[in-house]
Structure 1
Amino acid sequence: MSNFAKTFSSSLGKKLIMAATGLFLCTFLIVHLVGNLQLFKDDAGQAFNAYAYFMTHFTPIKVVSYLLYASIIIHAVYALVITMGNKKARPIGYAVQAGSQNSPWTSRNMGILGTVLLVFIVIHMSNFWWKYHNAELPYAKYEISLDDPSDITVSELPWDAKRLVHSDYVDTQAGKQVIVSKDLYKVVAHSFKTGWYVLLYVISMAALAFHLIHGFRSAFQTVGWDNRKYVPIIRFFGVWIFGVLIPVLFAAMPVYFYFFK
């Protein structure tokens, strides 16, 4: 076995892989949140559908998406390997010793939190990602006044295998910009009106919060960025940005649709 292979099969190597994939997934969360915040716009889903099209058709984003899928799988597999190893030896989860009863609850339950998130990701992707790529979704036709962009008329078009996924043109005679796109917004709105899914979403975001509060800090410790000068900054971002703000904003979306839309 090469030195490279030995390094990444060691306990330190496993922790480094967990840290690298975890930090990459944290970066994705920011991008995904910014896009999903378009759901709050009062435009019948036009901005969100445009975001969905961009994320699935812009080549660099598509390449990064494959890295994302690989990171999720690798992160989950190595988490399982580390958890199984913990039963045979002392706990090692990331760089933090997590076996003591005096350790934080989050560090002692990363496996449970991760399992909840993995189940959620599978359900979430089957509801949205798979349907966008494979289901016969209706199309939304947006007619936006050139004089007043807030004046939007939306109509539903039936699914048509021959229709382009997305089109955007200006109807000069009518004085309108016309956008036709797959209506993923309608799928999201319908899902967020389903009680059990909203509850699952909120619980999963709570699990994400606790997972990130411990995991974000631990990942930086693993890669050696635990200098006393940077610890307060890392702790702030880990707790208040990734542990509180991001999960709360994600959870606010289904709650908003369920109670107010």
Structure 2
Amino acid sequence: NMLVLGIVILGFICYHLTHFWAKMQLPEMFGIGVFENNPYLLLNATFGKWWLLVMYIIWFAALFLHLTHGFWSMFQTVGWDGKTWFKRIKVIGVIVAGIICLMFTATAINAFLQANGIIGA
């Protein structure tokens, strides 16, 4: 499971970096052009496609699983794995990962709705 999850996350990190970061930063860094500095338009153009929104939601679900495991695993590695605190740390990990992933998902859904004219900007 961890291998599949890692491959999914790595694939979307690569896609995300090439689609968002590289389109805005690389042309200016190498002097081959200047990107119109409007990430809002890029966000709406990207998430205006329903299939890409679905793929990102799947990625955020994978990221949630990765973060929940990583949070408690981090504490276990440094020795905080006692019976009393281990359950609490797992719950805190779920809350933290949930907030992070819900906010990213809300951003993607909002951009999709705005790009398709379902809600106003």
State the TM-score, normalized to the length of structure 1.
0.39
Structure 1 stretches of at least 4 aligned residues deviating more than 3 Å after TM superposition = none
Aligned-pair distance for 1:111? 1.4
2:9 corresponds to which letter in structure 1?
A: L
Query: Aligned pair count?
Result: 109
| CA distance in 2: counterparts of 1:237 and 1:248, whole angstroms | 15
Q: Which residue of 2 aligns with 1:64?
A: none
Shift of 1:183: 1.4
Paired position in structure 2 for 1:19: none
Q: Report the Cα offset of residue 206 of structure 1.
A: 0.6
Letter in 2 for 1:121: I
Residue 35 of structure 2, aligned match among 137, 142, 147 = 137
Give the 5 Å matches for 1:37-52: none
**CA–CA separation in structure 1 for the residues paired with 2:42 and 2:107:** 14
Secondary structure (helix, strand or coil) at the match of 2:83 reads: coil
Letter in 1 for 2:19: N
1:43-122 to 2 correspondences below 5 Å: 109-122=1-14
CA distance in 2: counterparts of 1:115 and 1:238, whole angstroms = 22
Name structure 2 gaps, 5 residues minimum.
28-33, 114-118
Q: Give secondary structure in 2 for the equivalent of 1:137.
A: coil
Residue-by-residue CA offset, 1:4-45 (whole Å, 9 max, x unaligned): xxxxxxxxxxxxxxxxxxxxxxxxxxxxxxxxxxxxxxxxxx
Query: Which protein, 1 or 2, shows the higher relative CO under an 8 Å CA cutoff with sep ≥ 6?
Result: 2
Q: Which runs of 5+ in 1 are unaligned?
A: 1-108, 139-181
Q: Distance in 2 between matches of 1:188 and 1:257?
A: 7
On the 8 A contact 1:137/1:184 being kept in 2, the answer is no
Kindly name which structure, 1 or 2, has the bigger radius of gyration based on alpha carbons. 1
Higher relative strand content: 1
Q: TM-score, normalised by structure 2?
A: 0.79
Alignment of 1:161-240 (within 5 A): 182-240=37-95
Q: Residue 226 of structure 1: SS of its match in structure 2?
A: coil
**What are the superposed Cα offsets for residues 59-112 of structure 1, whole Å, 9 maximum, x if unpaired?**
xxxxxxxxxxxxxxxxxxxxxxxxxxxxxxxxxxxxxxxxxxxxxxxxxx1111
Letter in 2 for 1:137: F
TM-superposed CA distance for 1:134, in Å, is: 2.2
Q: Equivalents in 2 of 1:246, 1:232: separation in Å? A: 20
Given that 2:43 and 2:111 are in contact with CA atoms closer than 8 Å, whether structure 1 keeps it comes out as no
Query: Hey, what does 2:107 align to over in structure 1?
Result: 253
State the identity as a percent: 36
